[in-house]
């Protein structure tokens, strides 16, 4: 394909090439496909402002496969974009870069650190950038490299390179150095020495995190990421003078000025978990015999930073009150960790010698490294008093084994919690060789027998402190809607994700249209659950408009006189429909699968344009109509259906048993003369659509047709006149443009198709909806209630031998000692991300779940629980903040953990609408019904 390379300069500075929007889209899509087939480490990508990129997508009229049209989370988007925008100006990345100060960043513009991909910027391959830059110029160019992250070598574009603040002990100056986190320490030394003009053998660079010297960064192939260097942290340069270290300048370990002397890292005599000392980084000295009594020692600098000693913690030393430093949007991690390190069974386990249980051979685990890193971090938090701990080494391990949590973006604390619990279990699994079991169907056997059998199978393959304390079992019942086949299984769970049922409603106004022309359109206002789904809205409308049993409603959004999107998935959430949108519903016959759907858009000819070059331009107006065709063969069939669906709009003066048009009248002209023609210039009919390519119908071939109609494509950019003999190919849906002439203005009352009401028109006196409050029990009941599986989650019925949309019912069967509830505050759909700030009223003491547990085994422990930790989320999506409330059991006091800051909290203050993950521990219930202390962790068999 030859791409034109000549163009001319526009007034706005861009280069306009002889290339249509459709050709631009095709060229870029080919370049995207080529780049996708050649993904490899080291490829260059460019960052482009999403603000400019959205304008360009609107111009070409469609989103590209690799770059979904993704506006702000509160916006809803269609699968196709209306091509109504003009050509954008030069590429403008000014809104995503840090403002230059005295031209400091002119040569090296830096991205704003809080940017999010999709919301603020998109990444395009080098070939795509070069083509867009050729067409539009502008910038600045923001190239980034693709790197592999984690042990799985997952490819990712490094949008934010590592920034290090270099401090020079000679003159106390500092300089920002930017380089990839995959760069080696050799490369770091090379850059620093070149920048400072010194010989590499005379330089010594220290890890200077928190302005404290930790370890010397020895020039090697070890990466900066592997050295636990963090974004925006400090490094310290020492320069030897004639073989001696400088004196008179420098800082001590607290950052105070004093003579700098060699400071060797303090060696710790404390072993980890009672075993041999090891580096939390599992550095080059790590070997397979590390747990077999090796004498490998660990330096202070290799361990987690920010503590004063490595003394074993004892509960009499006020342990457990240390905060965790925020390393850059790591509050989600800090919140989850604080909840876990205040889980009594885990505290007792990791403060003891657990090294014998580390499973390094488990292919599903992380060679024991994750468990070791977590155990070391827990010990530091319980032994450092109130001094905050910087979990650098732990974050490095997390990035290795879970690349999705690497970098410095905000993540979900519950997703991290799920990964940690599963990873800790696999690293600590006592089962080295997992036996194989063939599960059997229940076949009418007693539930107790089947549940115990499956639990034994599970424990034979999974045996760890996590299973001992955190895993329970629930019963799952599936029923086939056709043959009534019942399938019962018993599955383990680590936590329960509870939906938040809503009791708040919203009113929605929808205009209902008759697809068969049997009535005028009518708006209906219905009340639905605020957090309901499309099915709820359709059911409310069916009742309001008295829908016949042989009909169904097709819901759609109308935007700029087009059908913007159809709501054909009944499970789509109503939150995707905003109050200022225009929603319509079309009454269609249920046998629509045997019919062809016909979508009719309306155009008019604008005669008021002064510019002669645009005179006669056709624009969209009115509301599209949807009707149906039965076995359409030619243009007459379409013409007849259009006439039928418009019939309710016919003005009374023209309603006559006589045919509306005389046979042979040119272009279907009306038989009677219009006395007072309507001037279309006086009617405000909508927005311009320059993308329409109207072709005047051939006059002779259109005789006998009542309307000027054109078949169009999905985007409405190509029109083919519909004449009497036009052959109609079989299709599920046809789209036509109806061009209104003076005849249609006189014959039909267009007012019924104008000015659609908004979904909800808020008045000045509208009352604010009170914050709803629901109980934890109602959330649990919503989780356990019977409901049909979704259309994307069909069940293969062994009776029918077909996939069926079965009904599913969950029941709790066996509860763990530590019970975790995840409140599903975040909802995601194709078009929307949403957070629910619903206040959930959860018990702090005496949470009794007895009535929800179906296992009636008398030997089962009590079902009464006490709250001991909460992971909180404040704010909205992307920009929120996580904290934790944790209870020190021995002190019987609550504390608030907000990253490094730890403060006492009153029990009455811990119930908030920010509660996201709840942690409960089982308590004993004595025979007299009095709640006792926590139950002991036990290993069920």
Q: What is the pLDDT of residues 864-916, one digit of tens each?
A: 999 999 999 998 766 689 999 999 988 889 999 999 999 999 999 999 999 99
CB 235 within 8 A of CB 229: yes
Mean pLDDT (whole number) for 668-688: 36
With b for 16 or more beta-carbon neighbours within 10 A and e for fewer, the 873-907 pattern comes to beeebeebbbbbbbbbbeeeebbbbbbbebeebee
CB 657 within 8 A of CB 667: no
CB 164 within 8 A of CB 171: no
Of 834, 833, 830, nearest to 79 by C-alpha is 830
CA torsion, points 723, 727, 733, 735, in degrees to nearest 10? -20
Q: What DSSP state is assigned to residue 84?
A: -
Q: What token pair was written down for 911?
A: 């119930």
CA 305 to each of CA 299, 300, 683: distance values in angstroms, whole numbers, following the listed order? 11, 8, 73
**CATH 3.10.20.90 domain position(s) in the chain:** 162-239, 500-592
Q: What is the pLDDT of residue 468?
A: 94
Does the pLDDT of residue 435 top 70, yes or no? yes
Q: How far apart are CA 143 and CA 47, in angstroms?
A: 7
> Which of 314-318, 653-657, 666-670, 707-711 is the least confident region?
666-670
Q: How far apart are CA 177 and CA 199, in angstroms?
A: 18
Q: ∠355-370-220 over CA atoms, to 5°?
A: 105
CB 794 within 8 A of CB 322: no
Mean pLDDT (whole number) for 371-386: 90
Domain 500-592 top-level CATH class: alpha beta
CB 217 within 8 A of CB 207: yes
CB atoms within 10 A of CB 564: 21
> Which of 34-48, 266-280, 823-837 is the least confident region?
266-280
Q: What DSSP state is assigned to residue 66?
A: T
Q: What is the pLDDT of residue 717?
A: 66
Instruction: For the sheet with 203-207, list strands across it.
Output: 174-179, 162-168, 233-239, 203-207
Q: What is the pLDDT of residue 726?
A: 82
CB 883 within 8 A of CB 905: no
Q: What is the pLDDT of residue 664?
A: 39
With b for 16 or more beta-carbon neighbours within 10 A and e for fewer, the 177-216 pattern comes to beebbbbbbebbbebbbeebebeeeebbbbbbbeebbbbb
Q: What is the pLDDT of residue 899?
A: 94
Residues whose CB falls within 8 Å of the CB of residue 695, separated by 6 or more in sequence, listed in order: 710, 719, 720, 721
User: Each residue of 123-139: pLDDT tens digit?
Assistant: 999 999 999 999 999 98
Mean pLDDT (whole number) for 534-542: 92
Which residue did the predictor score with more confidence, 610 or 837?
837
Q: How far apart are CA 4 and CA 21, in angstroms?
A: 14
Work out the mean pLDDT of the chain and round it to a whole number: 78
Q: What is the pLDDT of residue 302?
A: 40
Q: Which residue has the tokens 């039965």?
A: 630
> Which of 36-40, 475-479, 551-555, 850-854 is the least confident region?
36-40
User: Each residue of 131-186: pLDDT tens digit?
Assistant: 999 999 998 999 999 988 877 778 889 898 889 999 998 888 889 999 998 899 99
Residues whose CB falls within 8 Å of the CB of residue 484, separated by 6 or more in sequence, listed in order: none
Residues whose CB falls within 8 Å of the CB of residue 278, separated by 6 or more in sequence, listed in order: 272, 286, 290, 296, 298, 372
| Percentage of the chain exceeding pLDDT 90 | 35
Does the pLDDT of residue 840 top 70, yes or no? yes
Q: How far apart are CA 774 and CA 346, in angstroms?
A: 31
Q: What token pair was written down for 840?
A: 């959930």
User: Each residue of 720-735: pLDDT tens digit?
Assistant: 888 888 888 777 888 9
Of 275, 449, 250, nearest to 354 by C-alpha is 275
- Read off the pLDDT band of 682 (50, 70, 90): very low
Q: How far apart are CA 669 and CA 708, in angstroms?
A: 11
Which residue did the predictor score with more confidence, 917 or 272?
917
User: Each residue of 209-260: pLDDT tens digit?
Assistant: 888 888 899 888 888 888 888 888 899 999 987 555 444 333 433 333 333 3
CB 259 within 8 A of CB 238: no
Does the pLDDT of residue 394 top 70, yes or no? yes
Which CATH number is correct for 162-239, 3.40.1390.10, 3.10.20.90, 2.60.40.1930, 3.40.50.720?
A: 3.10.20.90
CB 643 within 8 A of CB 620: no
**CATH 3.30.2230.10 domain position(s) in the chain:** 21-67+83-148
| 3-class secondary structure per residue, 640-698 | HHHHHHHHHHECHHHCCCCCCECCCCHHHCECCCCCCCCCHHHCCCCCCCCCCCCCCCC
Catalytic residue among 174, 186, 760, 881, which?
A: 881
Mean pLDDT (whole number) for 369-378: 93
Does the pLDDT of residue 660 top 60, yes or no? no
**CATH 2.40.240 domain position(s) in the chain:** 594-608+617-650+706-755
Q: What is the pLDDT of residue 288?
A: 31
User: Each residue of 274-331: pLDDT tens digit?
Assistant: 333 332 333 333 233 333 333 223 333 344 444 333 344 454 456 889 999 998 889 9
Q: How far apart are CA 868 and CA 885, in angstroms?
A: 8
Q: What DSSP state is assigned to residue 737?
A: E
Task: Tell me, yes or no, if 331 is annotated catalytic.
Answer: yes
Q: What is the pLDDT of residue 613?
A: 52
Which CATH number is correct for 21-67+83-148, 3.40.50.2000, 3.50.50.60, 3.30.70.890, 3.30.2230.10?
A: 3.30.2230.10
Q: What is the pLDDT of residue 583?
A: 95
DSSP 233-281: EEEEEEE-BTTB---S--B-TTS-B------PPPBP-PPGGGS----TT
> Which of 68-82, 280-294, 829-843, 871-885 is the least confident region?
280-294
Q: What DSSP state is assigned to residue 769?
A: P
- CA pseudo-torsion sign 72, 74, 80, 86: negative
Q: What DSSP state is assigned to residue 533?
A: B
Chain centroid to Cα 623, Å, comes to: 34
Q: What token pair was written down for 564?
A: 């913007």
CB atoms within 10 A of CB 632: 22
Backbone angles phi, psi at 204, to 5 degrees: -140, 125
Q: What is the pLDDT of residue 106?
A: 56
Does the pLDDT of residue 21 top 60, yes or no? yes
> Which of 137-151, 690-704, 721-735, 835-849 is the least confident region?
690-704
CA torsion, points 618, 621, 627, 631, in degrees to nearest 10? 0
Does the pLDDT of residue 924 top 90, yes or no? no
Chain centroid to Cα 861, Å, comes to: 39
Task: List 865's β-bridge partners, or say none.
Answer: 847, 922
Q: What token pair was written down for 641?
A: 């259906």
CA torsion, points 275, 276, 281, 285, in degrees to nearest 10? -150
Q: What DSSP state is assigned to residue 216?
A: B
- Read off the pLDDT band of 917 (50, 70, 90): very high
- Read off the pLDDT band of 555 (50, 70, 90): very high
Does the pLDDT of residue 490 top 60, yes or no? yes
Helix (H/G/I), strand (E/B), else coil: 37: coil
Euclidean distance between the first and final Cα of the chain, in Å? 68
CB 218 within 8 A of CB 184: no
Catalytic residue among 331, 339, 545, 719, which?
A: 331
CB 940 within 8 A of CB 455: yes
Q: What is the pLDDT of residue 114?
A: 79
Residues whose CB falls within 8 Å of the CB of residue 810, separated by 6 or more in sequence, listed in order: 474, 475, 476, 477, 783, 784
Determine whether domain 594-608+617-650+706-755 maps to CATH 2.40.240: yes
User: Each residue of 722-776: pLDDT tens digit?
Assistant: 888 888 877 788 899 999 988 888 899 989 998 899 998 875 444 444 556 789 9
Mean pLDDT (whole number) for 38-44: 88
Q: What is the pLDDT of residue 651?
A: 86
Does the pLDDT of residue 369 top 50, yes or no? yes
Q: How far apart are CA 323 and CA 380, in angstroms?
A: 11
CA torsion, points 678, 683, 688, 690, in degrees to nearest 10? 10
Q: What is the pLDDT of residue 571?
A: 79
Of 19, 96, 100, nearest to 60 by C-alpha is 19
Mean pLDDT (whole number) for 105-127: 83
CB 6 within 8 A of CB 17: yes
CA 657 to each of CA 83, 643, 745: distance values in angstroms, whole numbers, following the listed order? 43, 15, 20
Q: What is the pLDDT of residue 37?
A: 84
| 3-class secondary structure per residue, 190-214 | HHHHHHHCCCHHHEEEEECHHHCCC
Q: How far apart are CA 561 and CA 151, in angstroms?
A: 52
Q: What is the pLDDT of residue 763?
A: 59
Of 822, 938, 919, 937, nearest to 865 by C-alpha is 919
């Amino acid at each position: 394909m030859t791409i034109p390379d000549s163009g001319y300069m526009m007034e706005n500075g861009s280069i306009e090439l002889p290339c249509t929007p459709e050709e631009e889209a095709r060229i870029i899509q080919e370049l995207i496909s080529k780049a996708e087939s050649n993904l490899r480490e080291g490829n260059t990508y460019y960052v482009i402002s999403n603000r400019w990129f959205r304008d360009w997508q609107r111009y070409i009229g469609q989103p590209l496969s690799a770059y979904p049209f993704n506006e702000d989370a509160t916006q809803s988007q269609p699968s196709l974009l209306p091509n109504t925008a003009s050509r954008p100006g030069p590429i403008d990345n000014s809104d995503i870069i840090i403002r230059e100060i005295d031209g400091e960043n002119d040569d090296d513009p830096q991205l704003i650190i809080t940017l999010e991909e999709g919301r603020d910027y998109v990444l395009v391959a080098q070939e795509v950038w070069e083509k867009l830059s050729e067409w539009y110029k502008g910038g600045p160019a923001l190239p980034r490299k693709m790197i592999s992250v984690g042990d799985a070598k997952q490819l990712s574009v490094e949008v934010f390179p590592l920034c290090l603040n270099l401090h020079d002990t000679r003159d106390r100056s500092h300089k920002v150095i930017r380089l990839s986190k995959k760069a080696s320490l050799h490369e770091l030394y090379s850059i620093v020495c070149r920048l400072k003009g010194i010989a590499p053998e005379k330089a010594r660079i220290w890890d200077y995190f928190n302005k404290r010297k930790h370890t010397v960064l020895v020039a090697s192939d070890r990466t900066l990421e592997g050295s636990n260097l963090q974004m925006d942290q400090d490094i310290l340069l020492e320069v030897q003078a004639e073989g001696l270290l400088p004196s008179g300048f420098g800082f001590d370990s607290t950052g105070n000025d004093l003579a700098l002397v060699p400071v060797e890292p303090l060696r710790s005599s404390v072993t980890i978990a009672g075993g041999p000392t090891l580096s939390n980084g599992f550095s080059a000295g790590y070997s397979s015999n590390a747990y077999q009594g090796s004498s490998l020692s660990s330096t202070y600098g290799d361990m987690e930073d920010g503590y004063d000693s490595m003394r074993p913690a004892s509960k009499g030393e006020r342990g457990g009150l240390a905060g965790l430093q925020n390393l850059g949007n790591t509050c989600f991690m800090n919140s989850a960790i604080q909840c876990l390190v205040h889980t009594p069974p885990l505290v007792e386990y990791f403060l003891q010698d657990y090294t014998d249980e580390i499973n390094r051979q488990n292919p599903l685990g992380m060679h024991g490294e994750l468990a070791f890193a977590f155990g070391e971090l827990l010990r530091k938090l319980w032994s450092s008093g109130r001094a905050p701990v910087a979990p650098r080494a732990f974050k490095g391990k997390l990035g290795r084994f879970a690349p999705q949590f690497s970098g410095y973006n905000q993540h979900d604390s519950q997703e991290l919690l799920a990964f940690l619990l599963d990873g800790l279990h696999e690293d600590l699994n006592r089962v080295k060789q997992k036996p194989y079991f063939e599960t059997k169907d229940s076949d009418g056997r007693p539930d107790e027998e089947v549940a115990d059998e499956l639990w034994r199978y599970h424990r034979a393959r999974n045996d760890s402190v996590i299973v001992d304390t955190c895993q329970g079992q629930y019963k799952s019942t599936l029923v086939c809607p056709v043959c009534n086949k019942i399938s019962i299984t018993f599955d383990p769970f680590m936590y329960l994700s509870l939906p938040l049922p809503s009791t708040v409603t919203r009113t929605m106004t929808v205009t209902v249209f008759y697809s068969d022309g049997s009535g005028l359109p009518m708006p209906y206002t219905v009340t639905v659950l605020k957090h309901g789904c499309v099915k709820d809205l359709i059911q409310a409308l069916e009742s309001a408009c008295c829908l016949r049993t042989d009909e169904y409603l097709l819901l759609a959004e109308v935007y700029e006189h087009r059908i913007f999107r159809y709501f054909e998935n009944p499970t789509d959430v109503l939150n995707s429909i905003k109050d200022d949108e225009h929603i319509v519903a079309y009454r269609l016959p249920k046998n629509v699968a045997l019919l062809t759907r016909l979508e009719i858009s309306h155009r008019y000819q604008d005669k008021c344009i002064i510019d002669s070059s645009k005179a006669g331009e056709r624009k969209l107006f009115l509301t599209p109509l949807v009707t149906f065709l039965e076995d359409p063969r030619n243009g007459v069939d379409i013409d007849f259906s259009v006439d039928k669906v418009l019939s309710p709009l016919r003005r009374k003066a023209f309603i006559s048993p006589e045919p509306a048009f005389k046979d042979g009248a040119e272009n279907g002209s009306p038989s009677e003369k219009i006395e007072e023609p309507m001037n279309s210039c006086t009617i405000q009919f909508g927005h311009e659509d320059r993308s329409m390519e109207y072709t005047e119908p051939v006059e002779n071939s259109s005789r006998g047709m009542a309307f000027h109609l054109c078949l169009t494509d999905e985007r409405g950019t190509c029109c083919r006149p519909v004449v009497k003999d036009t052959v109609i190919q079989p299709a599920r849906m046809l789209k036509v443009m109806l061009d209104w002439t003076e005849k249609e203005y006189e014959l039909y009352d267009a007012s019924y198709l104008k000015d659609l009401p908004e979904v909800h028109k808020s008045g000045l006196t509208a009352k604010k909806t009170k914050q709803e409050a629901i109980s934890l029990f109602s959330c649990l009941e919503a989780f356990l209630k019977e409901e049909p599986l979704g259309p994307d989650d069909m069940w293969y019925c062994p009776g029918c031998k077909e996939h069926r949309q079965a009904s599913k019912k969950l029941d709790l069967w066996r509860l763990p000692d530590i019970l975790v509830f995840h409140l599903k505050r975040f909802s995601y759909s194709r078009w929307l991300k949403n957070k629910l700030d619903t206040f959930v009223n959860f018990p702090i003491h005496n949470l009794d779940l007895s009535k929800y547990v179906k296992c009636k085994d008398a030997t089962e422990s009590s079902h009464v629980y006490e709250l001991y930790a909460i992971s909180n989320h404040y704010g909205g999506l992307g920009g929120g903040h996580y904290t934790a409330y944790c209870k020190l059991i021995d002190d019987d006091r609550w504390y608030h953990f907000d990253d490094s800051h730890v403060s006492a909290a009153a029990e009455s203050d811990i119930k908030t609408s920010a509660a996201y993950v709840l942690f409960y521990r089982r308590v004993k219930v004595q025979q007299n019904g009095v709640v006792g202390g926590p139950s002991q962790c036990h290993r069920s068999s």
